[in-house]
Structure 1
Amino acid sequence: MSDFDQMGIIVDWVDACRKGDLTALLDLYADDAQLECTCDGARRYRGRSEIEAYWQPRLSAFSLAGFGLEEINPAPHGVHLEYSVAGALRIQASFRFSPDGKIRSTLCEPARQNAHDGCAC
């Protein structure tokens, strides 16, 4: 059992995304974190600078279009989140944490979409 609130960290993550606050978002990640996105082919980003390069263009677009929390659930080794962009595009993400309460890894992939929607992550 962890001594930090994993669900609370992901709620903070969602809040940072909604506000378009890149610094707050990056501060939730461990220095050696990795992010894997399979929305448009599998791509992996490692460390703060690569994760910043991934999130910078997406975050401003997401916050302008509207970023919605659809589901958040504890998972065996972290937290599972489903969110929407512009009320329609759905993305699911799984988070794992470092012992000090930072996000160690994120895997995002398209959630079930309407036939005419795509993935925006």
Structure 2
Amino acid sequence: MSDFDHMGLVVDWVDACRKGDLATLLDLYADDGEVECSCNGTQRYRGRRELETYWGPKLNAFSSAGFGLEEIHPAPNGIDLEYSVAGALRVRASFRFSAEGKIYSTLCEPAQQGSHDCCAC
């Protein structure tokens, strides 16, 4: 899979977040895909059920507060993205992909933003 396809997959992820479309977001992940969130202590979610538990409330917050794409670029072995919630809270997410062209892992962490607490990723 080319870098262009990886970038397109992450753009689809951004679109699903903006729309609050949980089903589409989950379909972008591999069956054993995972999210590791380091925003409020490190927590890991793996598989569709756990990802649904993680992303469901987040998407509701994104749709009511606003979700913005700040930066997106290729990175070694994947794509790095920075997004904002409510125009202020910034989160960095790194995506890695399966051979089947699905998101295998997402690592999110607070981006540089001063003393704000990252609780929306």
Q: For the superposition of Structure 1 and Structure 2, which TM-score range results when normalised by the shorter chain?
A: over 0.9
- For 1:110, the aligned partner's letter is P
Aligned-residue Cα RMSD (Å) equals: 1.0
* Paired position in structure 1 for 2:85: 85
Deviation of the 1:34 alpha carbon: 1.1
* Paired position in structure 1 for 2:103: 103
Structure 2: which 5+ residue stretches go unaligned? none
Structure 1: which 5+ residue stretches go unaligned? none
Name the SS for the 1:5 alignment partner.
helix
Please list, as runs of the form range in 1=range in 2, the aligned pairs for 1:1-121 lying within 5 A after superposition: 2-3=1-2, 5-115=5-115, 117-119=116-118, 120-121=120-121
Percent of aligned pairs with the same amino acid: 71
Alpha-carbon distance between aligned partners in 1 of 2:7 and 2:45, rounded to the nearest angstrom:
23
Flag as ranges the 4+ runs of structure 1 deviating above 6 A: none
Question: TM-score normalized by structure 1?
Answer: 0.95
Deviations 1:71-103 (A, max 9, x none): 000011000000000000000000000011100
Alpha-carbon distance between aligned partners in 1 of 2:13 and 2:34, rounded to the nearest angstrom:
15
Deviation of the 1:64 alpha carbon: 1.1
How many residue pairs match? The answer is 119
Alpha-carbon distance between aligned partners in 2 of 1:10 and 1:110, rounded to the nearest angstrom:
18
Question: TM-score normalized by structure 2?
Answer: 0.95
